[in-house]
Structure 1
Amino acid sequence: MALSRGTSAFTLKMAAIAGMSCNHVANVFGDVMAPAATMILFTLGGLTFPIMAFLLCEGYRHTSSIRRYATRLALFAVAAEVPWFLLWGPSLNVLFTLLIGLGLLWARDHLRGRGAYGLVIVAGVAASWLCDWAIAGPLMIVFFHRVREQPRGVLKVMAAFGAVFGIPQLISVWGAGLGAAGGLPPAIQ
């Protein structure tokens, strides 16, 4: 699948894997790394989910069998849960968030009436509370799907979610690391 300006799905998948690796390194070794390095790794890692959400929307749009697509995603989500649980504790991994998002896309195309779809959105977002990328993840997927035909829509969604969810997270990481080390101005600490 080729995306705009020659970017392929494979390239995006490799970028997501690299970002995910950065995020995991920051999570595991952040306490012993320089705060600036931890923040850089978290920033790069923050790109992982938006890429995965975008690719999920593209996969939904181009799959020949949503049932097989959802089954594969569910199997990987269950298989990944054991290491996720051992590393991060009792929550569901990001693949469950993607599965919820896939269900929301399916519901958008198959439910009649806005009320029913609204209830499914509320239920999906509520269920995501147990998952990585809670609340923001399923909403980002829905918004990506809505703007799929707009030339700059995906970038606008990423910028909006980055501003609302990413910047506060980075400030908190930065404040915890650099603030303790004296790297932040007193007004921000």
Structure 2
Amino acid sequence: MKVRFCFSAEQLKNIALVSMVIDHAAVGLIEQSELASGAAWSLCGTAMRLVGRVAFPLFAFMIAEGAVHTRDRRRYALRLLLLAVISEIPFDLVAGGTWLFPVDQNTVFTLLLGLLAVWVGDLICGTGSGVSYGNREKTGDSGRKAVGQRRFPLEYERYIRVLAAVPFGLAAYYLKTDYGFMGVLLIVILYTLRTEPQFRTAVCIVFLFCMYMDFYGAAACVAIFLINRYNGEKGGGNGRIFYLFYPLHLLVIRGIKMAVGL
């Protein structure tokens, strides 16, 4: 049966960006202002936060896909680290209304830790695009490095990858990054089950409900529906727009709040 519509990576990323802006606007303009005391505005904020639950699973999926397709994971990780550091003050201004908000660190730190967890899982299991052959690199027709030899049976490899992610999840928990331990595990799950879409769907739905433990989990599951419509294509546009967009949209939200006196 032919799928009537599908999304490229660029389209999924754009959906995630719109969802993220709506979510952060709800936090910065409603929850962090006197508007939150009004019933109508409070309801509006809740609706916007529901829309915003779609963003993180999509970004987690983009990290999982990026881990597969990037030519240099070191540069990929360094770009995420730089973005996380640059974005922390704008994030604190929106999330906590102050220059320093140690209770919550921005989401990019979680994405970075998820990428590192995936990378370490590849190295332990001996498979994946994060595995190289030392000085003797093998390349296929695409010019990409070939994967290593699987060290564990597939049914065990899944658990090993999750266990390998635990230190990075704990780092997210203790550093108080947005989405924390569960956010890191979601990235690893999306990466590990990327070739098993039906199993991935079932696991992710259960995982997201456990992650939120309320109706926000149902909203987040919309992202899984979108991910299942991914066509495997990059799509047009600038693939690195997120690196500029993320801190700028936070500064814009903060500027709007100051301009209207919220």
Counterpart amino acid of residue 16 in structure 1: A
1:126 counterpart residue number: 170
2:92 counterpart residue number: 85
- 2:152 equivalent to 1:145: no
- 2:69 equivalent to 1:62: yes
1:22 Cα offset (Å): 1.4
CA distance in 1, matches of 2:68, 2:94: 33
1:152 Cα offset (Å): 2.6
CA distance in 2, matches of 1:85, 1:135: 20
Question: CA 1:168/1:72 → structure 2, altered by over 3 Å: closer, same or farther?
Answer: same
CA distance in 2, matches of 1:143, 1:162: 11
Coordinate RMSD, CA, aligned: 2.6
Counterpart amino acid of residue 45 in structure 1: G
Question: CA 1:119/1:85 → structure 2, altered by over 3 Å: closer, same or farther?
Answer: same
3-state SS of 2:71 partner? coil
3-state SS of 2:214 partner? helix
The superposition leaves residues 126-163 of structure 1 with CA deviations (integer Å, 9 ceiling, x where unpaired) of 11112000111001011111110013344334422331
2:214 counterpart residue number: 168
1:98 Cα offset (Å): 0.4
Counterpart amino acid of residue 59 in structure 2: M
Q: Give the greater-gyration-radius structure (CA).
A: 2
1:10 counterpart residue number: 10
C-alpha contact 1:140 1:157 (8 A) present in aligned 2: no
1:37 counterpart residue number: 44
Runs (4+) off by over 6 Å: 113-119
CA distance in 1, matches of 2:53, 2:206: 14
* Equivalent of 1:109 in 122, 130, 147: 122
3-state SS of 1:40 partner? helix
Identify the structure with the greater helix proportion.
Answer: 1
Residues 169-188 of structure 1 aligned to structure 2 (within 5 Å): 170=216
Identical columns (%): 30
C-alpha contact 1:144 1:153 (8 A) present in aligned 2: no
Matched length:
168
Question: CA 1:161/1:43 → structure 2, altered by over 3 Å: closer, same or farther?
Answer: farther
CA distance in 2, matches of 1:27, 1:135: 22
TM-score normalised by length of structure 2: 0.58
1:35 Cα offset (Å): 3.2
Question: CA 1:108/1:94 → structure 2, altered by over 3 Å: closer, same or farther?
Answer: same
Comparing 90-99 with 158-167, greater Cα deviation is found at 158-167
1:37 Cα offset (Å): 1.9
1:25 Cα offset (Å): 1.8
C-alpha contact 1:50 1:158 (8 A) present in aligned 2: no
Question: CA 1:35/1:86 → structure 2, altered by over 3 Å: closer, same or farther?
Answer: closer
Question: CA 1:58/1:45 → structure 2, altered by over 3 Å: closer, same or farther?
Answer: same
The superposition leaves residues 160-179 of structure 1 with CA deviations (integer Å, 9 ceiling, x where unpaired) of 233112342749xxxxxxxx
> Which structure is richer in relative contact order (CA contacts within 8 A, separation 6 or more)?
2
CA distance in 2, matches of 1:49, 1:118: 19
Question: CA 1:57/1:119 → structure 2, altered by over 3 Å: closer, same or farther?
Answer: closer
Comparing 73-82 with 105-114, greater Cα deviation is found at 105-114
CA distance in 2, matches of 1:70, 1:132: 18
